Amino acid sequence: MDAEIIGVGSELLLGQISNTDAQYISQKLSQLGINVFYHTVVGDNKNRLKEALEIASRRADLIFTTGGLGPTMDDLTKETIADFLGLNMFLHEESIEAIKGYFAKRGRTMSQNNNKQACFPEGAKIMPNNHGTAPGAIVENKGKVFIILPGPPGELQPMFEDYVIPYLERKSKEQITSRVLKVYGMGESVMEEKIKDLIINQSNPTIAPLAGSSELTIRITAKTARGEDPYKLIQPLEEKVRQRLGDLVYGVDDDTLESVVLRLLVESKKTIATAESCTGGLIAKRITSIPGASQAFIEGVVSYSNQSKIERLGVSEATLAKYGAVSPETAEEMVRGILETTGADLGAAVTGIAGPGGGTANKPVGLVYIGIGDKEGHFTVNSYNFLGGRKKVQEMAASMALDSIRRRLLTLET
Amino acid sequence: MDAEIIGVGSELLLGQISNTDAQYISQKLSQLGINVFYHTVVGDNKNRLKEALEIASRRADLIFTTGGLGPTMDDLTKETIADFLGLNMFLHEESIEAIKGYFAKRGRTMSQNNNKQACFPEGAKIMPNNHGTAPGAIVENKGKVFIILPGPPGELQPMFEDYVIPYLERKSKEQITSRVLKVYGMGESVMEEKIKDLIINQSNPTIAPLAGSSELTIRITAKTARGEDPYKLIQPLEEKVRQRLGDLVYGVDDDTLESVVLRLLVESKKTIATAESCTGGLIAKRITSIPGASQAFIEGVVSYSNQSKIERLGVSEATLAKYGAVSPETAEEMVRGILETTGADLGAAVTGIAGPGGGTANKPVGLVYIGIGDKEGHFTVNSYNFLGGRKKVQEMAASMALDSIRRRLLTLET
């Protein structure tokens, strides 16, 4: 069963919002084994929407529309679908009551134009909207299925979970399951060289590398009959990839460097503290964005000024004077300082030049020193030259620091 | 001139990423007065991409493609466009050198696959990629223009600014200019009430409110002939809006709460330090993400543990025992502590329950205390109940803290 998703709304074509509905629906459909071959976005324009519907019904069996269900005149998705299919519109009484109820709950009364939201093409199955005023609908017509959904993600997603998925599961026989391997520390083309033969010889499961901003992912996707265990197909290929890439594979699926670091810390019952200069708190922020961070994260110091490096972390004025704030010596004293002042098991320190200003010939923008230390007294400081704007340098430095923490934790564990 | 944007990449159809490139390009084109009537997304599939190109060339003069310029085998945008237009591919020597240089800078050597990235359809104007390996291209053919761009936003956006906009400006006669007012601290419907009449009576300039995750924007857009000063049209309407909303308007265009806070700090020659618990460094990270933060930001302490609150900030054990870490008393002692230990002019402290765990009946998830203090000895602590998941609560708390700092700075200035 092939699907196409049509996003309706001029705000999408003006770039006021991104088409996250298409992303959400696509994710869900791929899990259901339904192919999505096209996304289309059109504005609030009857003729262009009609043309999009014509094109979509030529190339897909299952056509989703998102948006254009509001009470205003420029909301015309349902009317246009009815027109396209040659159907009349009818007023759905239960929906009127539901909309009235929605307003009543909020101490407001329904305005006349909300009546429009209760009108649907003949023969439509109505999907109640428990998070807004616009109900959705499913219209089966001449072998095609039109699934009409509201635009706001907060309304679309629960409706999709509660009504669309059960409807689709009854229709589809096979399922697609993906396993994503998260890779950090190598370039895309280098990685592809290492798994080239696996990519060339792929069938089922398929294997697809994808380059992100500062990390890579490899998606292994298996097509199986519903009920069959997809991991029987996925596991052997995953093993091969892991043999090629070793511990460059830091996690799977929704893992992030910070979630893996926190998991390793909690598993090994170790605590961590961070001392950040050029990353300005980004490392602490990323670790503490993970639920349960308080089990392992004691403290972060964003020692942006020299004064702070001296007073909070005990970096010696001599070191700062002789080597400067951006130096391996300062990075090491920052780690030692954060370990001593917090008593954490593990410490990480970052000092560098994020730019755009502050670079010199010997210390260019992007030069970053990352220090990792532990209670047992092992200290390492590495230097990096990250290229890109300020935010990119900060992000790459934070990711590298998190990966360095991960690697230290792996060695501590063995 | 009508445009269509074709996003190429199976990762879009699988929902792995959202089509933010289409959003970015649409924003820029609307500012240039170029209509975008359709977005299309296709996978890494030659035939379907070709079909999308056929449909797009029927309904648009200006066709953008994003993605599919990588070194891997499934990257086939340029090849498919050449095929569609009946053009041969040629190897662009300068691009080979540029790609070699890109790798050299990073101490890596170019892999054979990357040669592919230097091949283009005959007659293409090449756009260098200063942030990645894939150059872009502009192909003019039979009255249509194909603008071929890389997928990663970090590569696409600078290329668009540096090469595409100058190219398009030469083509379009009228210009659309927008002024965005950034609003923080009120609900969308409340704001719309205040400017309802302006919205109803809009013509040129137009006025459009838009609700973001934790802030609102109002976009004032004027259509003028090239060379004419658009702000003659924009300013009077902007003044009216500002009269209605007062200091809820915190900035314009690319301003963010953090950039405005930093600007106010630098202008008033004041320094700041932060003490964060539940926001975990997010406030420090947001301030230090702005170039020049070192002029005003002295230090941030992420005092996640009680121990850290006591040792770094001098919060009294008695206070923690009596009122708990999440209390106005602790918030105030955190501000006093960060001010005393850093000597900063201004201090901000946040303590709360970000969730998902840790909530109780009297202290539910989302309860956050924000303390602001200054050297002159003015301390205020406010409490908030933010709704949403962990990240949302952290983001809303950080934004509220930044806005509180902004408001304090405004009072200090007067």
Supply A148's token pair.
């009409």
Burial, A198: exposed, middle or buried (Cβ in 10 Å; 0-12, 13-18, 19+)? middle
Region A145-156: mean pLDDT is: 94
Chain B hits for A301, CB-CB cut-off 8 Å, are 299-302, 312
Check residues B53 and B10 and name the one with the higher pLDDT. Answer: B53
Residue B355 distance to chain A (closest CA, Å): 7
Residue range A74-121, pLDDT digits in tens = 789 999 999 999 999 999 999 999 999 888 877 778 877 788 999 999
Residue contact B19–A17, C-beta within 8 A: no
Residue contact B72–A209, C-beta within 8 A: yes
A40, closest residue in chain B (CA to CA): B40
Residue contact A312–B311, C-beta within 8 A: no
Residue A174 has pLDDT above 90, yes or no: no
Q: Residue A90: which of A139, A141, A160 has the closest Cα?
A: A139
User: Residue B138: what pLDDT?
Assistant: 98
The angle that helices A306-313 and B328-342 make with each other, rounded to 10 degrees, is 110
Residue A414 has pLDDT above 60, yes or no: no
Using a pLDDT cut of 90, give the percent of chain B over it.
77
* Of residues A38, A283, A304, nearest to B299 (C-beta): A304
Residue range A363-392, pLDDT digits in tens = 999 999 999 999 999 999 999 999 888 999
Q: Which residue reads 């670091």 in tokens?
A: A261
* Of residues A52, A213, A281, nearest to B285 (C-beta): A281
Residue contact B43–A37, C-beta within 8 A: yes
User: Residue B374: what pLDDT?
Assistant: 95
Q: Distance from CA of residue A92 to its chain's centroid?
A: 38
* Of residues A23, A291, A305, nearest to B298 (C-beta): A305
* Of residues A36, A43, A276, nearest to B37 (C-beta): A43
Residue contact A38–B37, C-beta within 8 A: no
Residue contact B303–A302, C-beta within 8 A: no
User: Residue A159: what pLDDT?
Assistant: 97
Q: Residue B3: which of B17, B31, B202 has the closest Cα?
A: B31
Residue B126 has pLDDT above 80, yes or no: yes
> Residue A193: pLDDT band by 50, 70, 90 thresholds?
confident
> Residue A334: pLDDT band by 50, 70, 90 thresholds?
very high
Q: Which residue reads 């830091």 in tokens?
A: A250
- Residue A379: left (phi > 0), alpha (psi -120 to 50), or beta? beta
- At A255, the amino acid letter reads D
Q: Which residue reads 């648009």 in tokens?
A: B60
Under 8 Å CB pairs connecting chains A and B tally to 264
Q: Residue A232: which of A222, A244, A240 has the closest Cα?
A: A222
Region B161-190: mean pLDDT is: 86
DSSP B414: -
DSSP B78: H
Chain B hits for A348, CB-CB cut-off 8 Å, are none
Residue A188 has pLDDT above 80, yes or no: no
* Of residues B41, B279, B297, nearest to A38 (C-beta): B41
> What is the per-residue DSSP string for B109-153?
---GGGGGGGEEETTPEEE--TTSS--EEEEEETTEEEEEE-SSH
User: Residue B317: what pLDDT?
Assistant: 97
User: Residue A213: what pLDDT?
Assistant: 65
> What is the per-residue DSSP string for B185-215?
SS-HHHHHHHHHHHHHT--SSEEEEEE-SS-
Query: How far is Cα B161 from Cα B152, in angstroms, rounded to an integer?
Result: 14
Residue range A272-318, pLDDT digits in tens = 999 999 999 999 999 999 999 999 999 999 999 999 999 999 999 99
Among A47-61, A98-112, A181-195, B135-149, the minimum mean pLDDT is found in A98-112
Check residues A272 and B107 and name the one with the higher pLDDT. Answer: A272
Residue B107 has pLDDT above 70, yes or no: yes
> Residue B212: pLDDT band by 50, 70, 90 thresholds?
low
Using a pLDDT cut of 70, give the percent of chain B over it.
99
Q: Residue B126: which of B168, B151, B96, B86 has the closest Cα?
A: B96
B219, closest residue in chain A (CA to CA): A16
For an interface test with B, which of A176, A288, A341, A385 has the most B Cβ atoms less than 10 Å from its Cβ? A288
Residue range B11-30, pLDDT digits in tens = 999 998 899 999 999 999 98
Residue B202 has pLDDT above 90, yes or no: no
Residue contact A219–B302, C-beta within 8 A: no
Residue contact A301–B301, C-beta within 8 A: yes
Residue B367 distance to chain A (closest CA, Å): 16
Using a pLDDT cut of 70, give the percent of chain A over it.
99
Residue range A227-250, pLDDT digits in tens = 899 999 999 999 999 999 999 999
B42, closest residue in chain A (CA to CA): A38
For A277-403, strand residue ranges (E) read 297-303, 346-352, 367-374, 379-385
Strands A2-8 and A35-42: parallel
Using a pLDDT cut of 90, give the percent of chain A over it.
77
Supply A216's token pair.
């890579």
B26, closest residue in chain A (CA to CA): A15
Residue B276 has pLDDT above 80, yes or no: yes
Among A2-6, A403-407, B100-104, the minimum mean pLDDT is found in B100-104
Check residues B414 and B136 and name the one with the higher pLDDT. Answer: B136
Contact at 8 Å (CB) between B138 and B147?
A: yes
Where is mean pLDDT largest: A101-110, A189-198, A204-213?
A189-198
What residues does A65 pair with on adjacent strands? A6, A148
Query: How far is Cα A63 from Cα A59, in angstroms, rounded to an integer?
Result: 10
Contact at 8 Å (CB) between A276 and A369?
A: no
Region A173-190: mean pLDDT is: 85
User: Residue B171: what pLDDT?
Assistant: 81
Chain B hits for A37, CB-CB cut-off 8 Å, are 13, 42-43, 45, 48
> Residue B389: pLDDT band by 50, 70, 90 thresholds?
confident
User: Residue B214: what pLDDT?
Assistant: 66
Residue B353 distance to chain A (closest CA, Å): 11
Q: Mean pLDDT across chain B, nearest whole number? A: 93
Q: Residue A69: which of A127, A143, A144 has the closest Cα?
A: A127
Q: Within a 10 A sphere around the Cβ of A236, how many other Cβ atoms?
A: 11
Residue contact A192–B357, C-beta within 8 A: no
Region A134-138: mean pLDDT is: 96
Residue contact B18–A17, C-beta within 8 A: no
> Residue A172: pLDDT band by 50, 70, 90 thresholds?
confident
Residue contact B26–A18, C-beta within 8 A: no
Contact at 8 Å (CB) between A353 and A368?
A: yes
User: Residue B41: what pLDDT?
Assistant: 98
Q: Mean pLDDT across chain A, nearest whole number? A: 93
Residue contact B12–A26, C-beta within 8 A: yes
Residue range B310-356, pLDDT digits in tens = 999 999 999 999 999 999 999 999 999 999 999 999 999 999 999 99
Region A397-411: mean pLDDT is: 96
Q: Within a 10 A sphere around the Cβ of A62, how many other Cβ atoms?
A: 21
* Size of chain A, expressed as the number of residues it contains: 414
Q: Residue B98: which of B161, B24, B166, B155 has the closest Cα?
A: B155
Q: Residue A18: which of A86, A67, A88 has the closest Cα?
A: A67
Per-residue burial over B138-169, b if 16 or more Cβ lie within 10 Å, else e, is bbebeeebbbbbbbbbebbbebbeebbeeebe
> Percent helix, strand, coil in chain A (nearest 5)?
45, 25, 30
Supply A104's token pair.
């009543």
Q: Is the dihedral of CA A192, A198, A203, A207 positive or negative?
A: negative
User: Residue A112: what pLDDT?
Assistant: 79
pTM of the entire predicted model: 0.81
Region A139-165: mean pLDDT is: 95
Residue A86 distance to chain B (closest CA, Å): 24
> Residue B392: pLDDT band by 50, 70, 90 thresholds?
confident
Residue A342 has pLDDT above 90, yes or no: yes
Where is mean pLDDT largest: A214-223, B109-118, B202-211, B389-398?
B389-398
Residue contact A280–B293, C-beta within 8 A: yes
Residue contact A55–B52, C-beta within 8 A: no
For an interface test with B, which of A194, A254, A285 has the most B Cβ atoms less than 10 Å from its Cβ? A285
Residue B31 has pLDDT above 60, yes or no: yes
- Domains in chain B, CATH or no CATH each: 2-169 (3.40.980.10), 174-252 (3.30.70.2860), 257-413 (3.90.950.20)
Supply B1's token pair.
């001139």
Residue B38 distance to chain A (closest CA, Å): 5
Residue A191 has pLDDT above 90, yes or no: no
